[in-house]
Every structure is written in structure tokens, then in C-alpha cells.
Amino acid sequence: MKIFNTLTRKKEEFIPIKPGEVNMYVCGPTVYNYFHIGNGRTFIVFDTVRRYMEYRGYKVNFVQNFTDIDDKMIKKANEEGITVKELGDKFIDEYYKDADALNIERATANPRATEFIDEIIQFVKDLIDKGYAYEVNGDVYFETKKFGQYGKLSGQNLEDLQAGVRIDVDERKKDPMDFAIWKNQKPGEPAWESPWGMGRPGWHIECSCMAYKLLGETIDIHAGGYDLIFPHHENEIAQSECRTGKPFAKYWMHSAFLNINNQKMSKSLNNFFTARDILKKYDSDVIRLFMLSGHYRTQLNFSEELLESTKAGLERLYNAIGNLENLLDEVKEEKIKENEKDYIKKIDEYRDKYIEKMDDDFNTADAIAVIFDMVRDINTNIDADSSKELIKHSLDLIRELGGPLGILQNSVKENLDEEIEKLIEQRQQARKEKNWALADKIRDELKDRGIVLEDTPQGVRWKKVN
Ligand code: AMP
Ligand code: ZN
């Protein structure tokens, strides 16, 4: 398996530190609001990376943090008249609701920064003791020039970076590129006791600390959106490597932006849709198929038209699933027939192609094209003369290849059953209320869909006629 490593700017063979296991840390949301569909892209991309690695047999320890203390959190909590803790609790709950609805698997751990304050303080202390950080009036700064490799992730050197910054008015810093790892309490801010007085952690230090605590000194994969390369991940590397003297992460992965009108979707530009709003109109299969239809390192433009055409494409896939499910019910022949054996081999080749694409730095765009090709092939070659075994094999294969992408797991038949049961119930209720017009309307609607109802002493039965 090959992964494009931001650190080396090359596609590299993935070799885990411990055979068979992957330790992965993804920077998660700041929990002051509902997340938008741009954040959603990043979460879906790395959920897919994780699922695919599991599909390939790795045990994946997947950590994604919640940033629950920072300027944005404090500002929003003040606006709402609640505590930062209450704000965090609320939007962590809301995060899970939306992430679950997007079929994002729960992480192995979702640490919150405020639950690691003691460990963060210890981390800061260690950096001071080792001479990499200094305190000024209750603030602690990391001294970038002490880390000779500063800039290695973003491909910049310290001199260029220094030349690029505006003259810093903050005279407490020794160098404009130094960054706060502990912040002195300002009036009205939540704070924790520390050797430097009351204060709170900086943003970068939380990820260094929690990755270390939960996954160890050197992790396999560290990931996040493209905007985190600098300064967030650059700073994480500086802190972690100065503290341990070891490489922080072997592979750095960054996903490209979801844009809207060719501009990054973001809260600050106010050009965003929340995941929740989009989920009202489209289910997770549509959203995920759309997000994964481009390579994760390529920017993707969001529009409703694109979602609509993705939905139409997805319907083709689900029609095939529905047909296979119906055939399974109808067909009598159980065992695979002699002349079908070659065909099984042929469709299994789609799996090989799919793996080849996904192994190549998670090329979901091409992997999806393979699924569409396979489904077209199955549509033209499987019918009522096929054996149950072949039909089942095809259905399982579609589901298998959809699995790592988090799509195609629904049953058309079960959904239909549920929907029809619901309509029948509504009709019964209408009849009870002597609302004959509505009852007839529901019966006609079902009839249009080829469903006929039969009133029996045991209740209403339905069957599908073609
Ligand atoms: P935030 O809550 O802003 O810290 O972002 C959470 C995650 O979403 C980070 O990994 C960001 O890089 C990522 N992200 C933010 N905006 C976008 C976007 N428009 N497209 C893709 N990822 C994004
Ligand atoms: Zn982070």
C-alpha cells in the first residue's frame, strides 16, 4: 500500500511500526458549533482511510480529538451565557449525531483537551526543562530556533518564515515565530492551576500531548485538513520531537479542501452548509459517494447539482442491489452451475482492480469507477437463469467493495418493506378514522408501485405484482 507523505512529498510504501497495526491520529473539530460539510469531507476521508486499512487486515487505533478550549470556544460560550464546558458537551453530542448520520465510524478514542490538562502541563514543563521553551509572565513559548528542523513539514526554512511575518508587536517573544504552548489567564477566562500561574493550554500542544499519551512516541499516521500543515502540524512536530528526540509521525496525510464557488468552505467566510442541513436532503451514501468521487488530495467543489448527479449514479448501484435481492427470492437453482465458474473469476477481478486503486494512495475516484464497471457487468450477465450462489456472490461483492467507502450497505428490499408497512399502517389509521378518501389514496399509490393489498382476517397482507 502506498501513501503520499506530506513530509517527504512522495508516495511511499506503507510500513507500519508494529506489523499488522496502525496508530493513527486525526485532528478533530473545535466544538463550538455544528460542523460544516467541509469539515465533513476531512472526517469522511480519514474514516475511509481507516476502514480501508481495516479491510486490508490492519488493526487500526484511530484517535480523533475534540478541541474544547480555545479563543473561539470562550467567545461563543460568553455569547451564549454558558460555560465553556457546557458548550463543549453540547457540540460533542451534536458532533456524534452528525458523524453517525454520515456513517463515520466511532474513533477508538475521542480525547478532549480539557481532560488532559495535567499531562499537558507535564509536557510543557519537560520542554522548559530541556531548554526548548521559556516562560514570560505566565505565558510559555516554544522557541522555534532551538529546533533545527523547524519548517520541514511545510517545506520552509525558519529564515524565510521569519522574513514573511509582520513585525510582531508581542515583545514577550524572543522571536516572532515562537508560539504559545501555555497561555496566561485573561479576565473571565476558564483556567487551570499550573507552575506558571492560572492559565490554559495552547492549541498545538494538546495534539502533541494526546497523541503521545494515547498512541506513543512515534505514531504511524498523523492526518488532518490541508490548512493544518502550517502552523499546526509544524508546531506539533517541533514540540513532540524536541521532547522525545524521536520522529513524531512516520506518514503525514492531508486532505484537500471542499470548496464552494472555488473558495474554501469555512465558518469565517460564512460560505458553509452544515452537515446537518445537507443530511436533511441527502443520505450518507450520497454525501460520501460525492466526497469520495474525487481524490482526497484534490480540491472538490460543492454544489447541489453535483449532489443530484451523484444521487442519480447511486440509484443505478442500488437498483442493481434491489434486482439481485429480488432474484435471490425468485431463483430456485441453489448451487453454482459449471458455466458460471468462469464468470465468478471474472467479477472477482474487479476486486483486484479496486484494491490496486485503493492501495495507490487511496484513489477512491478510480475505485468507485471500478464499482460502476462491475455493476454494469453484473447487470448484463446475471438474471433469472443464474444460480442463487452466483447472485449471492455478486451481491456480497458489491457490498464488500462499498464497505471501505462506507456506502452500499443498505438493503433495497428491507427499505421497501419498511416503507410499505408504514403506508399500510397509515391506511389502517385512515380507515379507523373513516377517512375513506385518504385510505383510497394510499391504496392507489401502492397500486401504482405494483403493490396490491388484501384484507384478511389476520390483517392486511401485501404482495408485489409485476
Ligand atoms: P476545525 O473545526 O476548523 O478545526 O476543522 C476540523 C477539520 O476540518 C480540520 O482537519 C480542518 O483542516 C478541516 N477543514 C476545515 N475546513 C475544511 C474544508 N473546507 N474542506 C476540507 N476540510 C476542512
Ligand atoms: Zn491537531
User: Per-residue pLDDT tens for 84-105?
Assistant: 999 999 999 999 999 999 999 9
Closest ligand 1 atom to 35 CA? 2
Asked if residue 466 has pLDDT above 70, the reply is: no
Q: Which ligand is nearest to the CA of 225?
A: 1
> Whole-angstrom Cα distance, residue 201 to residue 114?
9
Q: Ligand 1 centre and the CA of 42: distance in Å?
A: 6
> Whole-angstrom Cα distance, residue 110 to residue 99?
13
Asked if residue 225 has pLDDT above 90, the reply is: yes
Q: How much is the mean pLDDT over the chain? A: 95
Q: Ligand 2 centre and the CA of 206: distance in Å?
A: 7
Type of residue at 399: R
> Whole-angstrom Cα distance, residue 192 to residue 71?
15
Higher pLDDT, 55 or 457: 55
**Dihedral of CA 407/413/419/422: which sign?**
negative
Residue 167: pLDDT band with limits 50, 70, 90: low
Closest ligand 1 atom to 258 CA? 20
Residues with CB under 6 A from ligand 1: 27, 29-30, 38-39, 41-42, 224-225, 227-228, 257-258, 264-266
Express each pLDDT in 264-316 by its tens digit: 999 999 999 999 999 999 999 999 999 999 999 999 999 999 999 999 999 99
> Whole-angstrom Cα distance, residue 355 to residue 344?
17
With a pLDDT cut of 90, the percent of the chain lying above it is 89
Whole-number pLDDT of residue 32: 97
Q: Which ligand is nearest to the CA of 263?
A: 1
Express each pLDDT in 124-152 by its tens digit: 999 999 999 999 999 999 999 999 999 99
Nearest to 288 by CA among 261, 316, 313, 262: 313
Report yes or no: 29 and 322 within 8 Å, Cβ to Cβ: no
Element (H, E) at 129: helix 117-129
Express each pLDDT in 322-357 by its tens digit: 999 999 999 999 999 999 999 999 999 999 999 999
> Whole-angstrom Cα distance, residue 92 to residue 70?
15
Nearest to 211 by CA among 83, 20, 104, 65: 65
Tell me the residue ranges of DSSP E strands in 68-177: 133-136, 139-142
Query: What Å distances lie between residue 271 and 267, 296, 389, CA to CA?
Result: 7, 21, 50
Nearest to 48 by CA among 408, 405, 407, 409: 405
Whole-number pLDDT of residue 166: 67
> Whole-angstrom Cα distance, residue 68 to residue 203?
10
Residue nearest (by alpha carbon) to ligand 1 atom 8: 39
Express each pLDDT in 101-120 by its tens digit: 999 999 999 999 999 999 99
Question: Coil, strand or helix: which one is 366?
Answer: helix
Q: What is the pTM of this model?
A: 0.93
Express each pLDDT in 376-393 by its tens digit: 999 999 999 999 999 999
Question: Coil, strand or helix: which one is 44?
Answer: helix
The dihedral over CA atoms of 428, 432, 434, 439, expressed in degrees to the nearest 10, equals 0
Q: Ligand 1 centre and the CA of 190: distance in Å?
A: 25
Residue nearest (by alpha carbon) to ligand 1 atom 18: 38
> Whole-angstrom Cα distance, residue 99 to residue 93?
10
